[in-house]
């Protein structure tokens, strides 16, 4: 086994891991950071957002397939593999043998308790290579369990917005954005219809294009610092305690997936920031089985529909003198186009925040997800997406567990595709969750119809559990060691030099997008890491 020595070891390369790396390199004069990612580097710029490519900004539907290709499911129950029409000479599963245990399938998963839409992105940059970049400030009810002083956390959220390059007005130039906003404000005068705070900046050299924030943006100048090393296609198997101690990590065991050779990294501090599933997975595999590990899992419910702009809205665009120059220019170039909306008009990007009366987060926009492409059903310029995100009450029994083996003796092991302990979900929504979900669906239907009729095939619907990809709580922070995995600085309870980061540290039920909140926690944690480095 080859041995590498460094100062800081980071598992993961998403925006949270990169927040740690940036802050440590900026605030410490000599600390070396060794970052490990299980996926490959798929962009010449490490961690860059793939939607910055011109072709995807011109064809949003094409980006849907990029997202589908990037997401790997977490826990899939095996299906019925018995083939009744197969000739008797062919192999079929034995009678009473159950489903096949193909690699990556989970025979322990009960379908009724699964988060079937949950998936992981394994690449340098993580999900920040394709995320929506939505970065709202969480409502006070979405941070009631935060163990950090309220004023301090407000400042951390502000710093997080700066690191993520969050702006609110980059889509104000859009005709559709302004018109949809006007219609909604008139229809719902008592609700706050506002621009989504997005991690994005319109390009100065070509304002028709934007630059979406990726993990490279989060790294900032640290991306070219010689003290930062990023190693891809390498599995972090576990972290190992220093011999004779219970509270100090000495090394991380790695597996180079290209050569299948083991590697050890010795460091002063260790940070696990691999997402809400893989972070507790590594801790569990390291025999760090704290009482709250994997528990208090919260995921957002989600309703979705698409509408076609009302004809009255399209007519209002034609009649508005503010748009005359843009429309005339478009008509001169495309005289046969029946729509008065230029092809390069940016999409709408609006939201209605979580409130005391409506306990869910609303996004009214056009964006690429793993679903929702329009295709030939309509002109994409008249389509608006409605996505409502509902919170899930904090419940200790909602959890993810990790299984090194199956209790069925003929199955030698249940692992994920990378040979790590298989995650299994045990998640249910409460009666209060169900009540809020129903209110959310009713509200979405009413709100969407103010803009236009439903696009056939995209009627109001609940999406697969887990599809929001906003799981929180699996390594939650807190002051009570029995109900949390880490302290207010994200340092794992009982350890001097081990930290966690990601949406998994959030101890609250949330409805809004959690990335900005997770970055805020990571900024505070990085300061704690630096204090330990300087003391050693």
Q: What is the mean pLDDT of residues 156-164?
A: 98
Residue 86 belongs to a domain: no
Residue 365 belongs to a domain: yes
pLDDT tens, residue by residue, 171-217: 999 999 999 999 999 999 999 999 999 999 999 999 999 999 999 99
Q: What is the mean pLDDT of residues 516-530?
A: 98
Residue 278 belongs to a domain: yes
Q: How confident is the model at residue 409 (pLDDT cuts 50, 70, 90)?
A: very low
Residue 98 belongs to a domain: no
DSSP strands (E only) in 319-466: 349-352, 360-365, 383-390, 399-403, 422-426, 461-462
SS3 262: strand
Residue 94 belongs to a domain: no
Q: What is the mean pLDDT of residues 262-275?
A: 98
Q: Is 320 left (phi over 0), alpha (psi -120 to 50) or beta?
A: beta
Please give the structure tokens belonging to residue 85.
């029409």
Q: How confident is the model at residue 261 (pLDDT cuts 50, 70, 90)?
A: very high
Q: In whole numbers, what is the pLDDT of the chain averaged over residues?
A: 94
Q: What is the mean pLDDT of residues 344-354?
A: 97
pLDDT tens, residue by residue, 33-66: 999 999 999 999 999 999 999 999 999 999 999 9
Checking if the pLDDT of 413 tops 70, the result is no
The total number of structural domains in the chain stands at 1
Q: Degrees (nearest 5) of the Cα angle 76, 79, 83?
A: 155
Residue with tokens 């997005």: 198
Tell me the C-alpha to C-alpha distance, in Å, between residue 464 and each of 115, 118, 191, 389, 469: 7, 9, 28, 12, 11
Residue 345 belongs to a domain: yes
Residue 163 belongs to a domain: yes
**High-pLDDT (> 70) share of the chain, %:** 96
pLDDT at site 94: 80
Give per-residue burial for 327-359: e unless 16+ CB within 10 Å, then b.
Answer: beebeeeeeeeebbbbeebbbbbbbbbbeeebb
Q: How confident is the model at residue 102 (pLDDT cuts 50, 70, 90)?
A: low
Catalytic residues: 470, 513
Q: How confident is the model at residue 376 (pLDDT cuts 50, 70, 90)?
A: confident
pLDDT tens, residue by residue, 450-496: 999 999 999 999 999 999 999 999 999 999 999 999 999 999 999 99
* Residue-range definition of the domain harbouring residue 394: 2-76+106-535
pLDDT at site 104: 63
Please give the structure tokens belonging to residue 365.
């926009």
- Comparing 314-318, 399-403, 490-494, the range with the smallest average pLDDT is 399-403
Compute the CA torsion angle 7, 17, 104, 288 (nearest 10 deg). 60
Residue 397 belongs to a domain: yes
Cα-to-chain-centroid distance, residue 82: 36
Q: How confident is the model at residue 99 (pLDDT cuts 50, 70, 90)?
A: low
What CATH number did the domain enclosing 366 receive?
A: 3.50.50.60
pLDDT at site 335: 96
366 vs 57: CA distance, rounded Å: 12
pLDDT at site 274: 97
Compute the CA torsion angle 437, 441, 443, 447 (nearest 10 deg). 150
User: What's the pTM?
Assistant: 0.95
């Amino acid at each position: 086994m080859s041995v590498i020595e460094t100062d800081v070891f980071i598992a993961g390369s998403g925006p949270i891991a990169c927040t740690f790396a940036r802050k440590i390199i900026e605030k410490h004069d000599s600390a070396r950071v060794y970052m490990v990612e299980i996926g490959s580097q798929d962009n010449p710029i490490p961690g860059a957002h793939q939607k910055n490519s011109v072709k995807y900004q011109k064809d949003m539907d094409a980006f849907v397939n990029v997202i589908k290709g990037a997401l790997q499911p977490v826990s899939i129950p095996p299906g019925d593999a018995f083939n009744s029409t197969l000739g008797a000479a062919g192999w079929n599963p034995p009678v009473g043998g159950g489903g096949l245990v193909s690699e990556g399938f989970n025979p322990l998963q009960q379908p009724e308790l699964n988060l079937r839409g949950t998936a992981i992105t394994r690449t340098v940059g993580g999900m920040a290579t394709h995320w929506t970049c939505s970065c709202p400030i969480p409502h006070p009810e979405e941070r009631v369990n935060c163990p950090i002083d309220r004023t301090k956390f407000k400042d951390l959220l502000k710093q997080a917005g700066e690191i993520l390059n969050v702006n609110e007005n980059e889509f104000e130039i859009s005709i559709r954005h302004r018109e949809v906003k006007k219609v909604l404000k008139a229809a719902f005068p008592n609700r706050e219809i506002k621009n989504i705070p997005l991690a994005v900046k319109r390009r100065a050299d070509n304002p028709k294009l934007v630059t979406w924030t990726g993990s490279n943006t989060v790294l900032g100048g640290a991306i070219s610092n010689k003290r930062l090393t990023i190693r891809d296609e390498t599995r972090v198997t576990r972290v190992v305690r220093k011999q004779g101690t219970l509270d100090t990590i000495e090394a991380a065991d790695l597996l180079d997936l290209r050569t299948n050779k083991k590697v050890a990294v010795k460091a002063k501090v260790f940070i696990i920031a691999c997402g809400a599933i893989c972070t507790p997975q590594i801790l569990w595999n390291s025999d760090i089985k704290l009482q709250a590990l994997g528990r208090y899992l919260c995921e957002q419910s989600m309703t979705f529909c698409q509408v076609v702009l009302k004809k009255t809205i399209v007519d209002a665009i034609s009649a508005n003198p503010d748009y005359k120059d843009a429309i005339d220019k478009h008509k001169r170039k495309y005289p046969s186009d029946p729509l008065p909306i230029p092809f390069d008009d940016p999409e709408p990007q609006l939201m209605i925040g979580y409130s005391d009366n409506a306990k869910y987060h609303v996004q009214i926009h056009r964006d690429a997800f793993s679903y929702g492409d329009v295709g030939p059903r309509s002109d994409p310029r008249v389509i608006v997406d409605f996505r409502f995100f509902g919170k899930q009450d904090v419940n200790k029994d909602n959890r993810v567990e990790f299984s090194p083996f199956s209790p069925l003796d003929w199955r030698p092991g249940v692992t994920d595709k990378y040979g790590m302990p298989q995650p299994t979900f045990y998640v249910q929504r409460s009666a209060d969750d169900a009540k809020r979900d129903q209110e959310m669906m009713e509200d979405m239907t009413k709100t969407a119809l103010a803009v236009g009729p439903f696009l056939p095939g995209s009627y109001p619907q609940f999406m697969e559990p887990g599809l929001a990809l906003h799981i929180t709580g699996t390594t939650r922070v807190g002051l009570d060691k029995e109900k949390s995995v880490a302290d207010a600085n994200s340092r794992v309870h009982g350890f001097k030099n081990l930290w966690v980061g990601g949406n998994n540290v959030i101890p609250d039920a949330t409805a809004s997008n959690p990335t900005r909140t997770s970055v805020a926690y990571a900024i505070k944690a990085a300061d704690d890491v630096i204090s330990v480095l300087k003391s050693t």
